[in-house]
Copies of this chain bind each other. A is one copy, B any other.
Amino acid sequence: MYTIKEVSEKTEVSEHTLRFWAKIGFFPFVKRDKNNIRLFSDSDIDWVKIVKCLRSVGIDNKSVKKYIELCIKGDSTIKERYNIILETKKKAQGQLDELKKQLELLEFKEKYYKSLINGKSKDIWNPMNKSI
């Protein structure tokens, strides 16, 4: 069983955020010791990772909450949960594509600046110029 600090290290989610997530009901199953200290099990840590995953692809807290409620409800919600995962995957794919596009733009700018630094061209920036 792990304390908040250990969970934070294992999942790379800040203690602040973990407490915030706990407050809004993301970890209804986490136990406490006699001093009221949270104790996360290994499977609790897996759940933290799922939450982190959902959040990191832009699922909002309300929807994450809904998902965990479906999990608790059990068998009858499997299809619905499956669809949520599929939707989430699609969203993540979209983000991946977008990020790749942005990386291309950054690469273009990198080359532009590099050529400037090497003196192969002049900085032609002015408020109206696109070569920012």
User: Which A residues are closer than 8 A to B by beta carbons?
Assistant: 28-29, 41-43, 46-47, 49-50, 53, 56-57, 68, 71-72, 74-75, 78-79, 81-82, 85-86, 88-89, 92-93, 95-96, 98-100, 102-103, 105-107, 109-110, 113-114, 116-117, 123, 125, 127-130, 132
CB atoms of B79 and A41 under 8 A apart: no
CB atoms of A78 and B113 under 8 A apart: yes
How many copies of the shown chain assemble into the complex? 2
| Docked CA distance A86–B114 (Å) | 11
| Docked CA distance A98–B117 (Å) | 32
CB atoms of B103 and A89 under 8 A apart: yes
| Docked CA distance A72–B50 (Å) | 44
